Structure 1
Amino acid sequence: MTHRHYAHTLHAGQCHYGWDNALAPVQIVPPGETLLFHCKDASDGQITATSTSDCLARLDAARTNPVNGPVFIEGAMPGDALKVTIGAFTPSGFGWTGIIPGFGLLADQFPVPKLHLWHYDTKLNEPAAFSPYGRVPLMPFAGTIGVAPAEAGRHDIIPPRHVGGNMDMRELRTGSILYLPVEVEGALFSIGDTHAAQGDGEVCGTAIESAMDVEITLDVVKGGAPRFPRLTTLSADPRHLDRNGAEVTTGIGPDLMAAARDAVSGMIDLLCGSYGMAPEDAYMLVSVCADLRLSEVVDAPNWVVSFHMPRSIFD
């Protein structure tokens, strides 16, 4: 999908499905090297352009969130930081968003699988259409990016960890610099779970899941390991989704997770009432473009979680 020459390319088949510091590296590179990763989508290709909603209930969970790697970086030692500079993304033009039974913030309210397929402009000049309800501006990023933990054994790929992993932060986009704590020699870096767009929170459990290529430069900062992943962004969020304001719902109470659920449920109710959307469609749409925020955590005993749906989606 790209014509630039790279000294190192990780192909789609060079992937794994769990963090394990015993995995043999598929590439060994010096610090400062730029690599090209051919990343699969989060379903490992199980969802295609002909898939239907019932396919989601039959997904092989052992194949979810494949990550390309691991890559051994020469000179990286425990206590160092791995400096990850994120370069250009080359998207595939196809993606999907789904409600997967038992997964997502409101899994108890949405037990039936539902799939939405996306076809978008690979130049990212045009938003992707979401049925007749709205259009979502695209901004590719890597949902899962991390290094091997010091603890032996295989660790599930789904939960994020102090060494990175499935963080699902849309700031992990072109131009951003991520610092990860190195815990094993060589760091053993891996990346995958690429997304074409996502709202903060990824509330239904999926974004626009989409295979794509991504350029990554790996370097080492000696003795610079942060306690948790640290990120530097060098530009504003390019989507500018708040240009026409937002609809905002809230959840308020002593439990932040319950408040988050209330805020999202409130937005689904609002979209269904205002636009005639089915609840399942509203749930998937907000997952790819609405932002969940901690608005207040100091006025005990209750906290405020807000959910921001950009009005520009409906222009």
Structure 2
Amino acid sequence: MSGHADTPWRTIHSAHHHCGWDNAIAPVTTVAPGETLTLQCLDAAGGHYNPESTAADIATMDPARVNPVTGPVFVDGAEPGDALKVTIRDFAPSGFGWSAIIPDFGLLADQFTAPRLHLWDYDRTARTPGVFSTHARVPLKPFAGTIGVALAEPGAHDIIPPRRTGGNMDIRDMAAGTELYLPVEVAGALFSVGDTHAAQGDGEVCGTAIESAMDITVTLDLVKGGAPAFPRFSTPGPVTRHLDAKGYEATTGIGPDLMTAARDAVSGMVDHLSRWRDLAPEDAYLLCSVCGDLRISEVVDAPNWVVSFYFPRIVFE
């Protein structure tokens, strides 16, 4: 079979997944630098939800099995101090997804204490906007929420916090065409990926995106001696083109603490959407998470900083 960079030559099944970072996990395959492969990824709940699920199913989700990642993949010749270059080629979405308000999780967990589940049925081929309600449709941009390599420290490490080697970064721009550079800390790098999303806003403020199983095709290469201190990436073009056409509604939070300002900005948008579009606050919060963007607007005018929250008006067109 060919190992040409544009033709995947092997597929790693989602059965080969793990739910934490541990450099003792045996690799499922070995690739040479420059090879391309496809990894089948489960959603963030490991397939817990289906089209008949309800909010009651949130309570039975096993927290020890969230964010499964497919792998690890051993990259021949990768050594500590190298950079693993991951070129994201494409995604094959499943067409089914979910978003949820999970008690005790999310930026406004103290304000939204009851579970809520929204199920998505989107066109996996045309990738037209996902229907949230009669009047709200969310443009899609598939990406990998969790993507990284093993840490040097031995033992099991929680999958939820992002780390210097990547992991659960939830950066919406880990999309097709992006080139990601990860610092290698162990021989072979031990690359894994999962937690795929059909769409998400910057911040993922309620704690979930449009969580959706899908296949991801990547090319893995090495930059010898080129490890960055933290992950860095290059995008192939504009990153919000799918949202920009109709402009934005924006709210702000201002004060001496960035996290408090972020909460104030999101709370303001939830209130604004609830009044402007006659949405239940829970639905406004979910929409903010799947397509609204938190931005740090100012960090130099001490003692107060400005955080803004942008919501794309195209959702209601």
Does the pair score TM above 0.5?
yes
Which amino acid counterpart does residue 39 of structure 1 have in structure 2?
C
- SS state of the match for residue 31, structure 1? coil
**Which of 248, 265, 286 is 2:288 aligned to?**
286
Pair 1:161-2:189 in alignment: no
Which residue number in structure 2 is paired with residue 127 of structure 1? 129
1:6 Cα shift? 3.6
1:237 Cα shift? 2.3
Which residue number in structure 2 is paired with residue 101 of structure 1? 103
1:238–1:105 Cα change, 3 Å: closer
Inter-partner Cα distance in structure 2 for 1:90 and 1:182: 27
1:284 Cα shift? 0.4
Inter-partner Cα distance in structure 1 for 2:141 and 2:155: 35
Inter-partner Cα distance in structure 2 for 1:76 and 1:5: 22
- SS state of the match for residue 245, structure 2? coil
8 Å contact 2:178–2:233 — kept in the other structure?
A: yes
Inter-partner Cα distance in structure 2 for 1:95 and 1:214: 16
Which residue number in structure 1 is paired with residue 213 of structure 2? 211
Inter-partner Cα distance in structure 1 for 2:265 and 2:129: 26
Give the TM-score taking structure 2 as reference length. 0.97
Which residue number in structure 1 is paired with residue 3 of structure 2? none
- SS state of the match for residue 243, structure 1? helix
Which amino acid counterpart does residue 213 of structure 1 have in structure 2?
D
**Which of 252, 255, 268 is 2:254 aligned to?**
252
8 Å contact 2:85–2:221 — kept in the other structure?
A: yes
Which amino acid counterpart does residue 192 of structure 1 have in structure 2?
G
Which residue number in structure 2 is paired with residue 21 of structure 1? 23
8 Å contact 2:140–2:242 — kept in the other structure?
A: no
**Per-residue displacement from partner, 1:254-279 (whole Å, max 9, x unpaired)?**
00000000000000000111111111
Q: How well do the aligned residues superpose, as a CA RMSD in angstroms?
A: 1.1
User: Is there any run of 5+ residues in structure 1 with no aligned partner, and where?
Assistant: none
Pair 1:59-2:61 in alignment: yes
**Which of 179, 191, 194 is 1:192 aligned to?**
194
The within-5 A match list for 1:136-155 is: 136-155=138-157
Which residue number in structure 2 is paired with residue 32 of structure 1? 34
8 Å contact 1:148–1:184 — kept in the other structure?
A: yes
1:238 Cα shift? 5.8
- SS state of the match for residue 281, structure 1? helix
8 Å contact 1:133–1:277 — kept in the other structure?
A: no
- SS state of the match for residue 315, structure 2? helix
- SS state of the match for residue 35, structure 1? strand
Pair 1:86-2:88 in alignment: yes
Which amino acid counterpart does residue 205 of structure 2 have in structure 1?
V
**Per-residue displacement from partner, 1:20-62 (whole Å, max 9, x unpaired)?**
0111000111111101111000000001111101111221001
Which residue number in structure 2 is paired with residue 310 of structure 1? 312
User: Is there any run of 5+ residues in structure 2 with no aligned partner, and where?
Assistant: 1-5
Which residue number in structure 2 is paired with residue 228 of structure 1? 230
**Which of 177, 181, 184 is 1:182 aligned to?**
184
8 Å contact 1:124–1:138 — kept in the other structure?
A: no
8 Å contact 2:8–2:217 — kept in the other structure?
A: no
Across the two proteins, how many residue pairs are aligned to each other?
312
**Per-residue displacement from partner, 1:82-119 (whole Å, max 9, x unpaired)?**
00000110000000000011111001111110000000
Inter-partner Cα distance in structure 2 for 1:236 and 1:266: 27
- SS state of the match for residue 288, structure 1? helix
1:282–1:238 Cα change, 3 Å: closer
Inter-partner Cα distance in structure 2 for 1:64 and 1:74: 29
8 Å contact 1:139–1:239 — kept in the other structure?
A: no
Which residue number in structure 1 is paired with residue 11 of structure 2? 9
Which amino acid counterpart does residue 279 of structure 1 have in structure 2?
P
Inter-partner Cα distance in structure 1 for 2:7 and 2:84: 24
* Paired-residue identity, %: 66
Which amino acid counterpart does residue 248 of structure 2 have in structure 1?
A
